[in-house]
Chains A and B, each alone.
Chain A
Amino acid sequence: MKLRLATAAALALTLTACAPSTSTPGAAPSDGGARTGTLKVWLFDEPNRAPKEKVVNEAVAEFTAAHQGTKVDIAYIAVDTRSERFKGAFNDPASAPDVVEYGNTDLPEYAAAGGLADVGPAVTAWSEGADLSPDAKSSATYEGTLLGVPWYVGVRALYYRTDIFQELGLKVPTSIAELTTAARTVRAKKPELFGVAVGGKYTYAAMPFVWDAGGDITSLNSAQSRAGLKAYTDLIADDNCPPQQCADLTGGKTVDLFASGKAAMGILGNFNRAAVDAGAAKGKYAVVPLPGSKPGSIAPAFAGGNNLGIMKNSQRPALAADFLTLLAGKKYQSEMYDAMGNLPTLKSASAVVAAKDKFVEPFITTISNGTKFVPLDPGWGKIDASAVLPTMIEKVATGKSTVEQATDEAAKQVDAALTK
């Protein structure tokens, strides 16, 4: 018995010697590193990658022609598992890329992990850098440091069915009240349709209502936020989109509903155009900015999108900056719009795009009207992952809690996550 205890103790002792693994980030060369060699680039894979790949390859060809002795190695990483890939890259500097594309809501987490390099000087030195809109720039800034160049943005606006509006004699809504009335009229006259497709899990459709009312994610239990939330949850009701069907809808599901012709309106992004055109709604819809509560106003949209950044561990930061500014420049931003429908972040590029395609006009109007963003804090990842906002919306929409209770609870969780 004694011996057994001794063995156990010895085993325990050897084990206590091992702590959980932690990597030490290496320092980047201060002189900008080598100007030749292979530049490793990670871009997001897309369901229809071919057009994106074509534009990127063109940029690579231009880059290698201008930089003797360089090669660019592009890897397309899956969006679903990007988090693991990035964590892996931060933990193992040797296999990390130089230039990366990343979702702008992921920024704080990556920044707190210490994985991204300051691109401020590179952007200042870049001739097109001044052309970045302040909203876009602030969405890539963490604690005063610019950690990426916004490559493209996506915003949502109000898609509506022109045929149904005409048939029922409805006017295009210019305020939330008109939007609500129009939605209820559709549902009353055509019970098989939803007025406007809204969902309890569709945070980025709900937040514009909150922002428009003067609220924010960091002050969910303020009177303004509550008013905004109520305006949204009032739409998840039997007279528009019954909670039974709509309380658990995600944004993607509302896209399906609008595209398949089951909803007269939907709050969809510029990036959903292809999905809508592939459905029954094709050719029978138009888009306007999502109205705010004041007649004629526009509700602030969430500016989702992707940034291009440089990894802190990059051994060729100067070369990486050259490639980044080339790919994020006016030429390739407008080409990316043609290829993928991604909205440019440079004013010059959006002017080019707007002149070519009328479709983007409501989205560009929405952007120039001012966009909002999630709190730039590593705690946002936690708020997002633990579904604080959808839970709040669903609690109100299903009548499980009052607006006051649900917002108090959510505000507490947001505070806890952000102050950590």
Chain B
Amino acid sequence: MRQRFTPLWLLLPAAVVLGGLFLYPMYQLGLISVLDFRQAQVSGGQPTRFVGLDNYVQLFTDPQFWSVLLATVGFAAACVVATLAVGAGLAVLLTRISRVPRLLLSLAAMAAWAVPAVSGSTVWMFLFDTDLGFVNQLLGTEGFNWMYDRYSAFALVGAVVVWSSFPFVMVTLYAGIEAISRSVLEAAALDGASTWRTFWQIMVPMLRPVLAVVVIQSIIWDFKIFTQIYVMTRGGGLAGQNLTLNVYAYQQAFASSEYGLGSAIGVVMMLILLAVTVLYLRTLRRSGEPL
């Protein structure tokens, strides 16, 4: 019997930390999402009221929510794919170049990674400024506003997102590739496999656990994107065309102290991300590779 309890008390310290840092806030988030909870309620000017699913109803009946959700999913998907493509490509490149270029590439990537999101976005904004930007001067397109068209604005913000998040993918995958035994790759080469084929049929299957981490991380990061959109499109772009879910939540709820509604958006985001993660992990398991 005592044996059975051992795992429990061993888990206790972690459970306390996780409970305090994750479960309790999540519980509060869920609770506030079913309350009428605004600034007036926080400071005690009006009583807090239980409103059931009203906040959710308000959210789901707002057509803007659905279009923002769609845009967020599309934008996040594009960013994840682009980040992985760039990160994986450069990781493979890192394994094939000599020491000095490798060092330079790593340093450049680390620098991009280290730049705080707000500064990075602002610098890119300077580069792409309508009247004084370097890019417009280079292309001879002075007066072209990159943020005017919805897709060019998303593309530009997406580029900044990829720029700041590919280094993580690159470094992680590079470490993974380095860990693959040389003999396997050599055997493939001796059998006449092309680089492309080696990548897809040798490296990718062996990197599956690493890839899983990288993909889930990227999905979570890109789905929750805030800073780049908020800074670069000045809070959601022309007429809100570049809103993503997090910026929308901030604008609709937190900036106007509608904490109940904001929490409802938070709960919805959390459920979506959980669902995506669980589905992804399940498909990985199904395909036979233990993680």
Contact = CB atoms under 8 A, between A and B. Distances in A.
Please indicate whether A and B come from the same complex rather than being unrelated chains.
yes
20 contacts: A3-B8, A15-B23, A21-B42, A22-B48, A24-B44, A25-B45, A112-B46, A113-B42, A244-B143, A245-B130, A245-B145, A247-B148, A378-B38, A378-B40, A386-B252, A387-B251, A394-B238, A394-B239, A398-B148, A400-B241
A90 B251 contact: no
A22 B145 contact: no
Nearest to A381: B256
A115 B238 CA distance: 35
A114 B31 contact: no
B257 A381 contact: yes
A378 B257 CA distance: 10
Contacts of A109: 39, 257
A387 B64 CA distance: 13
Contacts of A387: 235-236, 240, 251
Contacts of A21: 42
A163 B23 CA distance: 66
Contact of A113 (B40, B48, B147, B256): B40
Contacts of A200: 238-239
Contacts of A243: 148
Interface string B10-34: 0000000001000110011001100
Greatest chain A CB density within 10 A among B131, B240, B252 is at: B240
Given A385-B251, A386-B251, A22 B41 contact: yes
Interface string B239-268: 111000000000110011110000000000
B239 A114 contact: no
A137 B213 CA distance: 60
Interface of A: 3, 7, 11, 15, 18-25, 87, 90-91, 109, 112-115, 200-201, 242-245, 247-248, 250, 378, 381-382, 384-387, 390-391, 394-395, 398, 400
Given A15-B23, A245-B145, A391-B239, A382 B258 contact: yes
Closest 7 CB pairs of A and B: A114-B45, A90-B43, A385-B255, A382-B256, A385-B256, A394-B239, A113-B45
A385 B261 CA distance: 14
Contacts of A90: 39, 42-45
Contacts of B240: 387, 391
Nearest to A392: B239
Interface of B: 4, 8, 19, 23-24, 27-28, 31-32, 35, 37-46, 48, 130-131, 143-145, 147-148, 234-241, 251-252, 255-258
Contacts of B237: 248
Nearest to B252: A386
Contacts of B44: 22-25, 90-91, 114
Nearest to B28: A20
Given A90-B39, A114-B45, A391-B239, 6 more contacts: A20-B32, A23-B43, A87-B257, A90-B42, A112-B39, A244-B130
Contacts of B45: 25, 90, 112-115
Most buried by A among B46, B235, B239, B258: B239
Contacts of B131: 245
Nearest to B145: A244
Contacts of B256: 381-382, 384-386
Given A87-B42, A245-B143, A398 B31 contact: no
Contacts of B238: 200, 247-248, 394, 398
B148 A244 contact: yes
A100 B45 CA distance: 18
Contacts of A201: 234
B127 to A, nearest CB: 17
Contacts of A386: 251-252, 255-256
B108 to A, nearest CB: 32
A80 to B, nearest CB: 12
A200 B241 CA distance: 14
A23 B252 CA distance: 24
B19 to A, nearest CB: 7
A391 B236 CA distance: 10
Contacts of B147: 248
A247 B145 CA distance: 10
B144 A113 contact: no
A70 to B, nearest CB: 28
A334 B33 CA distance: 49
Contacts of B257: 87, 109, 381
